[in-house]
């Protein structure tokens, strides 16, 4: 049994990936779904993130009864594997109808479809036994500002969340902010936006956030501070740890791979808040495109191990010296204390 230092870890089936990018085809064969699921426990993971169509394949066109039946069969399979479903998310962005956004589409028929599919997603979550629904608002934005009314679009988002809260009295909705990609301008770019929106809904206590490292960096913000903002409000309901090399496309690099000190500070803020008691640590990471197939699970293993090393680093950090240096306002020495601790010298 591996020592997870009190944490529970999660990832999504999409984190085992064929390596395709917008400029090239897949470079690794598709890993059979059953094999993906079988790899979780071997890698030290207890939980799984899911989209509605990860649970019920080809979900569109299936009757509600059929969807719930397949969800139950999936739940039984997870139980057999000993896997906990962490979150469920409606994958609205892969349907052609959502091209101009789903909840914020100008066309009312598309908005209705998005809400109906999300309500169904809440029903699947209930069958699976999770109350946490993630909304990554992928295409809720525009390529050009003139394409939609942003004021109306934000109200549509609030309306959609209200419908979900009313539909299921126990569901919690967790918004995953991201400033861009696939859209040029996304409507909910930061956790500040997400929580402000949460407070305008009918039941703000059931609307929170999930912070992804890369998304915070893409917004030009510090991921640890974004997490701290949500934590102090009791609103950090999941994290998608990964890494990102500056303002580029969403890289989903292994946790800590680009900026170890930033990763240390993310773990530090989670430790300070006692996050392990109430949340799971999900890694939204992808193997490098150039990684051969036989080693294309290492990014998950490495992210989890790196996280655990950093937990040890946070727990063994000399907080007495930290306090003294803070009191002395000797920030150069405090910085060196951190860097030398990370380097082990």
Q: Which of 240, 286, 304, 313 binds ligand XUL (CB under 6 A)?
A: 240
Task: Write the interaction track for ligand XUL spanning residues 260-289; mark x where CB under 6 A is met and - where it is not.
Answer: ------------------------x-----
Q: Least CB distance from residue 176 to ligand XUL, whole Å?
A: 5
Q: Least CB distance from residue 320 to Mn ion, whole Å?
A: 37
Site for Mn ion contains 240 (CB under 5 A): yes
Site for ligand XUL contains 212 (CB under 6 A): yes
Site for Mn ion contains 243 (CB under 5 A): no
- What is the dihedral sign for C-alpha 249, 253, 256, 258? negative
Site for Mn ion contains 51 (CB under 5 A): no
Q: How many residues bind Mn ion (CB under 5 A)?
A: 3
Between 140 and 212, whose beta carbon lies closer to ligand XUL? Answer: 212
Between 49 and 197, whose beta carbon lies closer to ligand XUL? Answer: 49
Q: Least CB distance from residue 344 to ligand XUL, whole Å?
A: 32
Neighbours of 278 (CB within 10 A): 10
The strand pair at 185-186 and 141-142 is best described as antiparallel
Q: Which of 227, 231, 284, 310 binds Mn ion (CB under 5 A)?
A: 284
- Type and span of the H or E element at 278: none
Neighbours of 124 (CB within 10 A): 27
What is the C-alpha separation between 125 and 112, in angstroms, rounded? 20
What is the C-alpha separation between 112 and 338, in angstroms, rounded? 51
Q: Residues 285, 11: contact at Cβ < 8 Å?
A: yes
Write down the H helix ranges in the chain. 33-42, 52-55, 64-81, 108-128, 150-167, 191-198, 213-218, 223-232, 260-272, 298-315, 319-328, 331-343
Q: Degrees (nearest 5) of the Cα angle 327, 330, 331?
A: 110
Site for Mn ion contains 212 (CB under 5 A): yes
Task: Write the interaction track for ligand XUL spanning residues 80-109; mark x where CB under 6 A is met and - where it is not.
Answer: ---------x--------------------
Site for ligand XUL contains 176 (CB under 6 A): yes
Q: Least CB distance from residue 178 to ligand XUL, whole Å?
A: 6
- Candidate ranges 72-80, 209-217, 269-277, 334-342; the one touching Mn ion (CB under 5 A): 209-217
Phi then psi dihedrals of residue 310, to 5 deg: -70, -30
SS3 261: helix
Binding residues for Mn ion (CB under 5 A): 212, 240, 284
Binding residues for ligand XUL (CB under 6 A): 89, 134, 136, 176, 178, 212, 240, 250, 284
């Amino acid at each position: 049994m591996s020592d997870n230092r009190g944490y529970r870890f999660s990832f999504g089936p999409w984190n085992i990936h064929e390596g395709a990018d917008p400029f090239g085809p897949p470079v690794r064969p598709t890993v059979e779904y059953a094999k993906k699921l079988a790899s979780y426990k071997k890698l030290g993971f207890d939980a799984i993130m899911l989209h509605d169509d990860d649970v019920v394949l080809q979900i569109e066109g299936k009757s509600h009864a059929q969807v719930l039946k397949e969800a139950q069969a999936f739940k039984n399979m997870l139980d057999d594997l000993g896997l906990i479903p962490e979150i469920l998310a409606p994958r609205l962005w892969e349907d052609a109808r959502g091209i101009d956004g789903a909840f914020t589409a100008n066309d009312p028929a598309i908005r209705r479809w998005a809400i109906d599919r999300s309500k169904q997603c809440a029903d699947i979550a209930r069958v699976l036994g999770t109350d946490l629904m993630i909304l990554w608002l992928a295409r809720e934005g525009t390529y050009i500002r003139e394409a939609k009314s942003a004021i109306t679009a934000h109200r549509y988002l609030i309306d959609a969340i209200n419908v979900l809260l009313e539909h299921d009295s126990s569901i919690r909705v967790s918004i995953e902010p991201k400033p861009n990609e696939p859209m040029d301008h996304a409507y909910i770019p930061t956790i500040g936006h997400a929580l402000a929106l949460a407070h305008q809904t009918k039941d703000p206590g059931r609307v929170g956030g999930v912070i992804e490292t890369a998304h915070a960096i893409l917004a030009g913000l510090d991921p640890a501070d974004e997490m701290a903002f949500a934590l102090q409000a009791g609103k950090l309901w999941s994290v998608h740890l990964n890494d990102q090399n500056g303002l580029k496309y969403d890289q989903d690099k292994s946790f800590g791979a680009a900026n170890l000190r930033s990763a240390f500070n993310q773990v530090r803020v989670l430790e300070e808040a006692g996050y392990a008691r109430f949340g799971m640590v999900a890694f939204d990471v992808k193997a490098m495109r150039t990684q051969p197939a036989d080693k294309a699970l290492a990014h998950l293993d490495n992210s989890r191990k790196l996280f655990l090393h950093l937990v040890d680093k946070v727990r063994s950090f000399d907080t007495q010296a930290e306090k003294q240096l803070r009191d002395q306002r000797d920030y150069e020495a405090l910085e060196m204390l951190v860097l030398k601790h990370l380097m082990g010298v």
